[in-house]
Copies of this chain bind each other. A is one copy, B any other.
Amino acid sequence: MDALAVLAEPTRRRIVDVLRVRECTVSELVGSLGMSQPAVSKHLRVLREAGIVTAQVRAQQRVYRLEPGPFRELDAWLAPYRRMWTHHLAELERHLDRKEDG
């Protein structure tokens, strides 16, 4: 599963949104999300296997934090599409031309 598919899941996006602010333990995330602990753990596993988060063991707790790699990949994937709006004026002109045709 690539980063994009993993992050398509709303709950997982909520998780990374929380982790963006600060690293968290599983219990803290369970509190933030209002979901069962197993459900959260399963999402964390998916995020881990995608390399989006890493866990650090601290006593019986696991402290989860974000990893930049997958986000960079996502950014790289998005890059070629960025032309669409950086060349926006030219696109707009073409769009209007097209409308006059049709």
| Tally of contact residues, A, Cβ under 8 A | 26
Q: Mind listing 23 A-B residue pairs with CB under 8 Å?
A: A4-B4, A4-B7, A4-B8, A4-B13, A5-B8, A7-B8, A20-B80, A56-B98, A56-B102, A57-B102, A58-B102, A66-B81, A66-B84, A68-B81, A68-B88, A71-B78, A71-B81, A71-B82, A71-B85, A72-B85, A74-B78, A75-B82, A78-B78
What is the bound-complex CA distance between A8 and B66, given in angstroms? 20
Q: Is A91 an interface residue (CB 8 A)?
A: yes
SS of A interface (majority): helix
How many copies of this chain are found per oligomer? 2
Per CB-CB distance, the 7 closest pairs between chain A and chain B, nearest first, are A8-B8, A68-B84, A68-B85, A5-B8, A71-B81, A4-B8, A72-B85
